[in-house]
Amino acid sequence: MAAPVGVRVFDKIADKYEFTAKFLSFGIMPYWLKRLAEPIRGGETVLDLACGTGILFPRLVEKFRRVVGLDYSLPMLRQAAKKGLSRVRLVRGDALRLPFEDESFDAVVVSLGLRHFEDLDRSLEEIFRVLKKGGELHALEVGLPENPLLRSLFLTFLRRVVLPLGRLRAKEDVYDHLFGSIIRFPHGEEMVKRLLSKGFSRARFEPLMGGIVYLYRAEK
């Protein structure tokens, strides 16, 4: 069975993912990741879900004794392994069927990965299952600005810059993956309602840069 388009895209851009992400964010992505990681309470074990190249690993190992990075893309995991961090365990797996026992993690972190999961509800249920009681979910995701002018400019940027670059690099039809996934994702209050419906408490969101990206946090 062929891998989904989203997986094939990440397979093909793995060696240039971090450079491309920083380029497309005009160098601001490290600031987003800093804002994502700073409030996370330390603990024993954290799951970096859809960890990609392990861009968050250096921040997570400062807070946790053990970091588990899970991704479906083997090329991305190979890039993550090059980080060479001894307290990181890499696992190839599916976000909809996490290969972990119930209540295994003090925290789950997802950076720019939630919208790529084929079934968001199922992935949230799995995250809730593997979190310990009192554990936290921290997520960063691309959003749609509420300001009409900013939204129009952002959508134009996605159509005219991000999509052509994605097609050029991945040699795939990436429209639905890179553009449609952003449009369909439940941003802001909608995402908070989704989290609460899955049993999370204290669900909240914070828009950055006018809503180009959002931070989501919730507890079990």
Query: Residues 69-105: pLDDT tens digits?
Result: 999 999 999 999 998 788 999 999 999 999 999 999 9
Task: Show the tokens assigned to 66.
Answer: 């053990």
C-alpha dihedral, 36 to 37 to 40 to 45, nearest 10°? 120
CB 72 within 8 A of CB 4: no
Cβ neighbours around 73 below 10 Å, total: 25
DSSP state of 112: S
Q: Are strands 105-111 and 131-142 parallel, antiparallel or unpaired?
A: parallel
Q: How far apart are CA 54 and CA 60, in angstroms?
A: 10
> What predicted TM-score, i.e. pTM, was given to this entire model?
0.88
Q: Are strands 64-71 and 105-111 parallel, antiparallel or unpaired?
A: unpaired
Share of the chain above pLDDT 70, in %: 80
pLDDT at 155: 82
Read off the amino acid at residue 218: A
Residue scoring higher pLDDT (80 or 27): 80
| CATH number of 60's domain | 3.40.50.150
pLDDT at 125: 98
pLDDT at 85: 86
Count of domains observed in the chain: 1
Write out the residue range of the structural domain in which residue 79 sits. Answer: 5-219
- What's the mean pLDDT in 164-193? 73
In this prediction, residue 200 has a pLDDT band, given cuts at 50, 70 and 90, of very high
- Has residue 3 got a pLDDT over 50? no
If you average pLDDT over every residue of the chain, what do you get? 87
Taking Cα atoms as reference points, which of 15, 31, 2 lies closest to residue 170? 15
